[in-house]
Amino acid sequence: MPKIYSNEKRQEIKNKLLQVGLALIKQHGLKKMSIQELTKKVGIAQGTFYNFFTSKEMLVYELADIYQKKLNLKLEAIIASKGYLERNDLRQLYANMFLKDEDNVYRFLTSADLQILSTRLSCDYFDKITDVKKEMERHLLNVHEIKAYYDLDAVINWIQIMNLTIQNQDILVKTRVEKIILRMIENMLDELF
């Protein structure tokens, strides 16, 4: 007979699955992360995982969604305190996002992992994960001294190029990845300012 958990206990287990899941993705990547290892570390039966997520890809989707909401809160906090976003705010946000933020699941996904996500998640879910443009447009409304005419598609492409760089950093000279990402951030910002 399956265990019945209180709402509090369910949320606690779900949070632990997300936390341990992210740690395992960092360690092994999505492809090699196993639900068996995840549930063992969380201390639940393997089948119990499916009471929380339909697949490990859905766990990644939720991690990405949580991260996007966290970013939105950071940006909204800056806007609330200053009334706008400046070039330096965006520089710091993107440098942290691509180089330091341990909660950014995208930093730890490879191109192969993204291919798995694109084939195993329904189009609606994958589109939500990859829909950078809509969020970007919303935040650009609050940017101070932005160009009257900027190329949003070029900005989006810079973000995707940075994603590709991070996802494929295993084939790059490791000591130069950070420097290259910082240059790309400046190039992206030049499109806006």
| Amino acid residing at 138 | R
Predicted TM-score (pTM) of this structure: 0.84
Q: What Å distances lie between residue 92 and 6, 26, 41, CA to CA?
A: 41, 23, 34
Distance CA 160, CA 184 (A): 11
Residue 85 DSSP class: B
Query: Cα-Cα-Cα-Cα dihedral of 103, 107, 108, 114, to 10°?
Result: 120
Give the residue-averaged pLDDT of 161-177: 90
Segment 132-160, tens digit of pLDDT: 677 788 888 899 999 999 999 899 889 88
- Token pair, residue 149, equals 């005419």
- Where is pLDDT greater, at 149 or 170? 149
pLDDT tens, 50-92? Answer: 999 999 999 998 998 899 889 989 999 999 999 999 999 999 9
What is the C-alpha to C-alpha distance for residues 84 and 148, in angstroms, rounded to an integer? 16
Whether the predicted pLDDT of 2 surpasses 70: no
Q: What local confidence, expressed as pLDDT, does residue 62 receive?
A: 93
Q: Write down the pLDDT at residue 109.
A: 87
- Proportion of the chain above pLDDT 90, given as a percent: 62
SS3 143: strand
pLDDT over threshold 80, residue 5: no
How does DSSP assign 26-71, residue by residue? HHH-TTT--HHHHHHHHTS-GGGGGGT-SSHHHHHHHHHHHHHHHH
pLDDT interval class at 1 (50, 70, 90)? very low
- CA 57 to each of CA 91, 104, 109, 145, 191: distance values in angstroms, whole numbers, following the listed order: 30, 15, 12, 40, 34
User: Is 97 or 120 the better-scoring residue by pLDDT?
Assistant: 97
If you average pLDDT over each of 14-23, 25-34, 111-120, 132-141, which comes out highest?
Answer: 14-23
β-bridge partners, 55: none
Is residue 122 pLDDT above 80, yes or no?
no
Helix, strand or coil, per DSSP, at residue 11: helix
pLDDT band at 18 (very low <50, low <70, confident <90, very high): very high
